[in-house]
Amino acid sequence: MATVVWLHGGACNGNTQSFLNAEEPTVVDLVTDFGIDIIYHHSCIPLMGEQAKSTLMGVLEKGGPDIFVMEGTVIQGPGGSGRYDMFLGRPMMEWVRDYAASAAFVVAIGDCASWGGVPATAPNPTDSIGLQYLKGQHGGFLGKDFRSKAGLPVINIPGCPAHPDWVTQVLVAVASGRLSDIALDDLQRPATFFKTFTQTGCTRHQYFEFKQSVKEFGQGTRSGCLFYEQGCRGSFTHSPCNRILWNRQSSKTRAGMPCIGCTEPQFPHHDLAVGTVFKTPLAFDVVPKELPQGTDPISYSAQAALARAVAPKWVQEDMFVV
Ligand code: SF4
Ligand code: SF4
């Protein structure tokens, strides 16, 4: 039986809400079918005050849990004391340090724990930081050389929030020793989920190919691509959002909402500056400033001009009938 302790730092609790919606497997399946013992979780386990403290201290005294899950940033302020985030009489960052040092595996759930996310965005008044990254910078609270007792760096499951089934499937893989299922990419994300792009499986891809755009936010949910005008980041964001659907039935881009790139370390991109949200910033009023991964402005422009010129009539129509 694998033991799990889940702590919560600087965050909105969105990853817990997401986790509780998991379907394949569900949170209950983790316990009943996969033998995972969730010793502490602020929303699932009814422990408070001295009871919670003695439980958490007891786990440390026995050598730590199998899996330490962190949701939210590590809050270091004010002045490096961590006292903006007190938990059971100690700064949360001290609990994080003890649990990271004692666990066989350390898993960061969501952007805030992985990279810092919204709380670490400038001016970052709480001095928030991710477990092993601050935005794209390797290091974070634990340092870039950190390895858990099992010899792995922090396993990052980013997203704002992370999709629930990414979380439960990684927990099952770790708990059952199927480490090959969680080979990590160069940002320590399980490659099985984060090797492809949000665009992989997007129902708008045929419009992307022929450079046909949805003109206004909310206009049409099934025709046109959201890259050219709406700032969709799906062609350069690594996520399986159109392979493993949300609620097993939809995704942002299927519902007409551009991908805002929430699984990448720089999220929120451009720090949500005016003119950068739901809009595609252009260079010289012509070429998108950020291009699909692997392209460059000259080859992109040539390919786009050709694609528009040869676009068939059907790409300007809503093809769906249900
Ligand atoms: S840019 Fe966005 S909307 Fe267009 S095909 Fe890619 S993921 Fe889908
Ligand atoms: S579609 Fe993009 S913004 Fe939405 S959850 Fe997936 S990666 Fe994040």
Which residues make Cβ contacts (< 8 Å) with residue 97, sequence separation at least 6? 141, 142
Q: What pLDDT does residue 133 have?
A: 98
Q: Is pLDDT at 161 greater than 80 in this prediction? A: yes
pLDDT in tens, 16-70: 999 999 999 999 999 999 999 999 999 999 899 999 999 999 999 999 999 999 9
3 state DSSP class of 141: coil
- Which ligand has the minimum distance to the alpha carbon of residue 250? 2
The reply to whether ligand 1 has any atom less than 6 angstroms from the CB of 204 is: yes
Q: What pLDDT does residue 322 have?
A: 54
**Domains plus CATH for the chain?**
2-192 (3.40.50.700), 196-322 (4.10.480.10)
- Which of 15-24, 69-78, 120-129, 311-320 has the lowest average pLDDT? 311-320
Confidence of residue 174 (pLDDT cuts 50, 70, 90): very high
Nearest CA to ligand 1 atom 6: 199
CA of 231 from ligand 1 middle (Å) equals 9
Q: Tell me what percent of the residues of the chain surpass a pLDDT of 90.
A: 85
CA distance 110 to 73: 9
Say if residue 309 is exposed, middle or buried (CB neighbours under 10 Å; 0-12, 13-18, 19+).
exposed
The reply to whether ligand 2 has any atom less than 6 angstroms from the CB of 135 is: no
The reply to whether ligand 1 has any atom less than 6 angstroms from the CB of 226 is: yes
User: For the residues 210-225, what does the mean pLDDT come to?
Assistant: 80
Q: Which atom of ligand 2 is nearest to the CA of 263?
A: 7
Q: Is pLDDT at 318 greater than 80 in this prediction? A: no
- Which ligand has the minimum distance to the alpha carbon of residue 315? 1
The reply to whether ligand 1 has any atom less than 6 angstroms from the CB of 208 is: yes
Cα torsion 307, 308, 313, 318 to 10°: value is: 90
The reply to whether ligand 2 has any atom less than 6 angstroms from the CB of 252 is: yes
User: For the residues 180-207, what does the mean pLDDT come to?
Assistant: 94
Q: Is pLDDT at 165 greater than 90 in this prediction? A: yes
Can the peptide bond before residue 25 be classed as cis, meaning omega within 30 degrees of 0?
yes
pLDDT in tens, 247-300: 999 999 998 999 999 999 999 999 888 888 889 989 888 899 999 999 999 999
CA of 301 from ligand 1 middle (Å) equals 17
What distance, in Å, lies between the first and last C-alpha atoms of the chain? Answer: 46
More confident residue, 223 or 58: 58
38, 31 in Cβ contact below 8 A? yes
Q: In 3D, which of 121, 301, 99 has the Cα closest to residue 211?
A: 301
The greatest distance separating any two alpha carbons of the chain, rounded to the nearest whole angstrom, comes to 70
Nearest CA to ligand 1 atom 4: 225
